[in-house]
Chain A
Amino acid sequence: MIQISNLSFSYAPQSTLRFPDVEVKKGENILLLGESGSGKTTLLHLMGGLLRQYSGSVKVDETELSTLSESSLDKFRGQKIGFIFQKNHLISALSVEKNLVMAPYLAGLPINEERIEQVLASLGLSEKRKSKVTELSQGQAQRVAIARAVLNKPSIIFADEPTSALDDKNCNKVIDLLLNVASQNQSTLIVATHDQRLKDKISNQLILY
């Protein structure tokens, strides 16, 4: 599913981040651990095609990301990858439903009302379908962000620090939810975190130094 070899990336000429070679299989769950500044988010962004100027190789679904044009990469990202961030980054001008609809619309996929209802129901958000996102609690907003990430049935879900700001109870809820939706969609789940509480939840771990 994902193959990384000889990968390095520089934000500035004097500071180059080098990453270990990694191979992630379809449906596998990986915990990407490391301290702040170790390059977890950078690796996630490289694998997700959000950063392009790298050396080495990043293959996702047998496709070398650097060979894709920018617009092809945008399309590839929209259709194959779902992102979840520490902050929910929902579009506040839109309702819950419209936030979800953005996922297939921007990826150039057909909008499937049934699928939206199904995902919302599976996350306990059916009643919030028409609500404004500004009216949601933090937990509800996070579930909407998860719904948006999985709506297109992506092959890979990248979650960047999804639990860092949560207490133990909510931390467990969110990670269980992520594992559950990834399993339902047969998606590969890669969670980048420095949250040690997740060590017991995902056994496949890659530690960055």
Chain B
Amino acid sequence: MSLFSLVWNYLKARPLNTAINIVLLSLGIAVITILLLFNAQLEKKITESARGIDLVVGAKGSPLQLILCNIFHMDFPTGNIKLAEAEKISRNRLVKRAIPLALGDSYQTYRIVGTSREYADLYKVELSQGEWWNNVFDVTIGANAAELSGLKMDDKFASAHGLVSGGHSHDDHQYVVKGILKKSNTVLDNLILCNVESVWQLHEGGHEQMHHEFDSSFIPSRLVPSVASSDSTKEITSMLIQYRSPMGAIQLPRFVNSQSSLQAASPAFETARLFSILGVGVEILMAFAYVLIVISGLSIFIALYNSLKERRYDMAIMRSMGATRSKLFVSILLEGGTLTLLGSLIGLFMGHGVLVLLSMMMVETQKAGISGFVFYPQEWIILGGSLALGLICAILPAIQAYRVDISKILSGN
């Protein structure tokens, strides 16, 4: 026998009340847990995806769209820009690194990105099988893309135009899987990487000779060395830029935006803006969860308060058998604490469970890298907070138990 066993028996004796209190609290905790896990993982993912990229240069349009499309690969391109114009910017003394991106096609909703090897180096991704793309129509694919699309080494596939399945298929050109990347929990997990020339050939047709080794006036492009830097016919979707010095942050965006057809967007600024937009929805959901928790706290208080009326004889009898006032006080606190501890544990479990289910059922959740098997230190705060809530809700009933007048109750007055 222990005080906990006594408390547990009291909770079992009122199953409906106990269940309602636990369910109410666990729903609130589950919502908070889902938001915490989702927000924290998304923030981490976004931060990691934008790591090392100071500026994105693309066609004019929404700067947020430019960032979403070219860093997170979650939106459509704002348009194309001339390679020659991008080239000029890439040669600016404030630019340390410039990476071209050529978008437009996908395979089973996995985006095909024409780029340079520097793009993979940016995320320090390693190969799991095979090799990096070398020739036109060679691809190296991300871990998620390989797993979920079923593509294996040396598989051939035709891309579809656009980002949704069912787009116009480029059956005349087939990509070949030359390598598969290790899972990196970065945006590269969901991409199919190839060189920029592959994207150009696919859309322009023919087998244009890209190499100009014997042309003495040929100055190779810094972004796509197989074409001349002065080539005015080639286009790319965007260019990711890393500054050489902090001065770049001041001068370069202004310089780019002054070019009539180009736009520069800062990932740091736009992601902060994105979080503030998402934040409104998150705050509403959080408020809803807090309301649920407050209601459950009130419900626990009312349940304990009412049960005290029914249990005043029990309390008096226990005192007559030697129970101290403090033992009764602690037993009520323990009851409140047990209810909230159970509610919050179930809530945490439900929160993780929902994300596990979502990631099993929804490809988008898998692509976003949201997992239910991740634990954050803030969950201890949730657990501690709800335990404190239980104790606060139980304190008044506990004081009442402490003040029980045994003689008055037992004599029936």
A interface, CB within 8 angstroms of B: 41-42, 45, 48, 50-51, 70-71, 74-75, 77-79, 83, 85, 87, 89, 91-94, 98, 101-103, 105-108, 111, 148, 160
- A residues less than 8 Å from B277 (CB atoms): none
Bound form: Cα–Cα A108–B1 in Å: 11
A106 in contact with B406 given A94-B9, A98-B9 (CB within 8 Å): no
A74 in contact with B12 given A42-B411, A91-B314, A101-B1 (CB within 8 Å): no
- B residues less than 8 Å from A41 (CB atoms): 410-411
6 smallest CB-CB distances across A and B, nearest first, come from A78-B322, A93-B13, A107-B322, A105-B1, A106-B323, A50-B407
Bound form: Cα–Cα A45–B413 in Å: 13
Other 8 A-B pairs with CB < 8 A, given A89-B313, A102-B1, A105-B2:
A41-B410, A48-B320, A71-B326, A89-B316, A91-B317, A98-B9, A103-B321, A108-B322
Bound form: Cα–Cα A50–B411 in Å: 11
- Give A107's nearest chain B residue, CB to CB: B322
Partner of B407, one of A45, A91, A98: A45
Does B222 reach chain A (CB closer than 8 Å)?
Answer: no
- Give B321's nearest chain A residue, CB to CB: A106
A74 in contact with B319 given A91-B314, A93-B12 (CB within 8 Å): yes
- The contact sample of 18 A-B pairs, CB cut-off 8 A, is A48-B320, A50-B407, A70-B324, A78-B323, A79-B322, A89-B313, A89-B316, A89-B317, A91-B317, A92-B13, A93-B314, A94-B9, A98-B5, A102-B6, A102-B318, A106-B322, A107-B321, A160-B410
Secondary structure at chain A's binding surface: helix, strand, loop or mixed? helix
Bound form: Cα–Cα A91–B321 in Å: 12
B interface, CB within 8 angstroms of A: 1-2, 5-6, 9-10, 12-13, 313-314, 316-327, 406-407, 410-412
- A residues less than 8 Å from B322 (CB atoms): 74-75, 77-79, 106-108
* Interchain pairs with CB closer than 8 A, number: 80
- B residues less than 8 Å from A101 (CB atoms): 1
Partner of A78, one of B6, B12, B321, B410: B321
- B residues less than 8 Å from A85 (CB atoms): 317, 410
- Give A41's nearest chain B residue, CB to CB: B411
Partner of B321, one of A71, A87, A102: A102
Bound form: Cα–Cα A102–B323 in Å: 9
Bound form: Cα–Cα A45–B407 in Å: 7
- B residues less than 8 Å from A74 (CB atoms): 319, 322-325
Q: A50–B410 contact, CB under 8 A?
A: yes
Max chain A C-beta neighbours (<10 A), residue from B318, B319, B406, B407: B407
Partner of B411, one of A45, A71, A77, A79: A45
- A residues less than 8 Å from B10 (CB atoms): 93
- Give A134's nearest chain B residue, CB to CB: B13
Q: A45–B410 contact, CB under 8 A?
A: yes
A51 in contact with B407 given A74-B323, A111-B1 (CB within 8 Å): yes
Bound form: Cα–Cα A142–B96 in Å: 91
- Give A49's nearest chain B residue, CB to CB: B320
- Give B411's nearest chain A residue, CB to CB: A41
Q: A70–B321 contact, CB under 8 A?
A: no
- A residues less than 8 Å from B319 (CB atoms): 50, 74
Partner of A98, one of B1, B318, B326, B406: B1
A159 to chain B, nearest CB (A): 12
- B residues less than 8 Å from A105 (CB atoms): 1-2
Bound form: Cα–Cα A105–B322 in Å: 9
